Amino acid sequence: MTADVRPGWLQGPMGQALLASETAAVERALIQMFGLHLLQVGCWGEPDQFLKFARTRRQALIAETSEPGVAALSSPSRLAIASDSVDAVLLPHTLETDAEPHQVLREVDRVLVGEGHLIVLGFNPWSAWGARHFATRGKFPNGTHRLIPEKRMRDWLSLLGMEVSKSRRCVHTPPIDRESVQRRLSGLEQTGARYWPRLSGAYILVAQKRVYSVTPMRPQWKRKPRLAGGLVEPTTRSAA
């Protein structure tokens, strides 16, 4: 079950800095995605935090609890969506806040059309944000079950036959919920992206569901020569 992680700290200076960095990264990813349906699974920030940048004809937010902007109620691990019906899916930290991340990914793979896209937002365990997560009793951010390293996330996607096409690191400011600190360190966003991207607080992966068609091949059986009166069947090739 996904925990409620929207209230509280996301509205503060630290949360707003996080959302600003992640929103910019998601906006760049959505520029190249078209089609009919985009589905965001799980609430993160405002209801249209990311969906307002979608290029698809329709967008919808699905969550477990009734919130403003939520189009339908459904568990991320049991999506009430038809198979092969969605062109793109956005998971904003949904895998870290759900107790069954593998099942969530299997459901996403089920509802995505062939060559459909998946956008995953995750926290980097090897960062100041990860350090605070492991040092905080009850985990941080509020409601997370565990942080998933980017390499492991890539492995999970690969097992489902999804190919990661783009990746980006974001959120280089420390997880300190003070406006004065966030304002003073706001320049770290560009500096960190250039000089120490591996220490970023979060990452974004863009993957594509690959569907490989199998072309049946007929076996080329060797033709046995037919015997007539003990002689091999003559051919049109002239003998020397």
Cα–Cα distance for residue pair 83/81, rounded to 1 Å: 6
Residue range 72-103, pLDDT digits in tens? 999 999 999 999 999 999 999 999 999 999 99
Strands 58-63 and 112-123 turn out to be unpaired
| Range in 22-31, 33-42, 173-182 with the lowest mean pLDDT | 173-182
Residue range 180-221, pLDDT digits in tens? 878 887 777 777 777 778 889 999 999 999 987 656 666 666
Residue range 104-156, pLDDT digits in tens? 999 999 999 999 999 999 999 999 999 999 888 777 888 888 999 999 999 99
Q: Which residue has the tokens 């020397």?
A: 240
Residue 70, pLDDT > 80, answer yes
Residue 49, pLDDT > 90, answer yes
Question: Between helices 101-111 and 150-159, what is the axis angle to 10°?
Answer: 50
Q: Where are the domains of the chain?
A: 8-212
- In the chain, % of residues over pLDDT 90: 60
Cα–Cα distance for residue pair 77/104, rounded to 1 Å: 4
Phi, then psi, of 202 in degrees rounded to 5: -145, 165
Tell me, rounded to whole angstroms, the distance of Cα 172 from its chain centroid. Answer: 21
- Among 1.10.150.120, 3.40.50.150, 2.60.40.10, 3.40.605.10, what is the CATH number of 8-212? 3.40.50.150
Residue 55, pLDDT > 80, answer yes
